[in-house]
Amino acid sequence: MDLNGRKALSFVHHDFEDLEYWYPVYRLREAGMIVETAGEKAGESYRGKYGVPATSDIAFPDAEPAEYELLLVPGGWAPDKLRRFPEVIEITKRMNADGKVIGQICHAGWVLISAGILNGKRVTSTPGIRDDMTNAGATWVNEAVVVDGNLVSSRRPPDLPAYLAALIETLSKR
C-alpha cells in the first residue's frame, strides 16, 4: 500500500467543485504521491465553483501520460470546459489505453464520455448526467463508489471518503 513517490495528474479548470478537486489532491499527497495539476496554461490560477483557488503546475500539451499512474478528473462545471481541449481528450484516451487508473467524480464523466472510453463500463456519477453516461454505453449505478477495472467513479462530495479509499486500494494492488 505504499504510494510513496508515485505520480498522479489532475486536470483543473474554472468552476471545479472545490472539495472534489482538492480532497483527492491533498489526500494522495498525504499518501506520498506526487500530484501534478494540468490546466490550459502553466501557472494559471483557477477558481472553484465556490471560489477556492487552485494553480495549474503545467499546461495540457506538456503533460506526458507515460509519467503518471493515475488521472484525476474533478467534478463541478470544469468538466464542461475540459472536454473541449483536444489534449485533455488525448491524455484521457492514452492513459485509459495504457490501463492507468482514472478517477472521476460527479460531472467528471463528461470528459470520459468525450474520450469514448465508457462503453460497457460500470460507473456512477452525479444523477444529473446519468443519461449522458448511459447514452455513452455505460451501465450506471447509484452507489457511493464504483470500481470497474481501471475506472473508479463516485457521485458527490459526501462520497469523497469512499472514493479515495477505493482509489488508494486500486492503486495499491498494482
Does position 45 interact with a second copy (CB under 8 A)? The reply is no
Please tell me the number of Cα atoms within 13 Å of 46 on its side-chain side: 31
Spell 50-76 as b/e; 16+ CB within 10 A means b: eeeebebbbbbeebebeebbbbbbbbb
Gap between the Cα atoms of 146 and 151, Å rounded: 8
What's the CA gap between 75 and 126, in Å, rounded?
Answer: 9
Residue 106 in contact with a second copy, rule: CB under 8 A:
no
Q: Which of 3, 10, 15, 23 binds a second copy (CB under 8 A)?
A: 23
Q: Could you say whether residue 46 binds a second copy (CB under 8 A)?
A: no
Q: How far is the CB of 107 from a second copy (least distance, A)?
A: 17
Only segment of 46-54, 75-83, 92-100, 101-109 that touches a second copy (CB under 8 A): 46-54
In Å, what is the CA distance from 91 to each residue of 1, 38, 64? 26, 11, 8
Q: How far apart are CA 105 and CA 25, in angstroms?
A: 13
Choose, by CB under 8 A, the member of 22, 46, 68, 110 that binds a second copy: 22
Q: Which one of 47-55, 58-66, 88-96, 129-137 is the stretch in contact with a second copy (CB under 8 A)?
A: 47-55
Q: Rounded to an integer, what distance in angstroms lies between the CA atom of residue 90 and that of residue 84? A: 11
The one among 131, 165, 169, 172 contacting a second copy by CB under 8 A: 165
Query: Which position among 6, 107, 121, 156 bears the catalytic label?
Result: 107
* The binder of a second copy chosen from 3, 8, 9, 19 (CB under 8 A): 19
Binding site for a second copy (CB under 8 A): 18-19, 22-23, 26-27, 29-30, 48, 50-52, 157, 160-162, 164-165
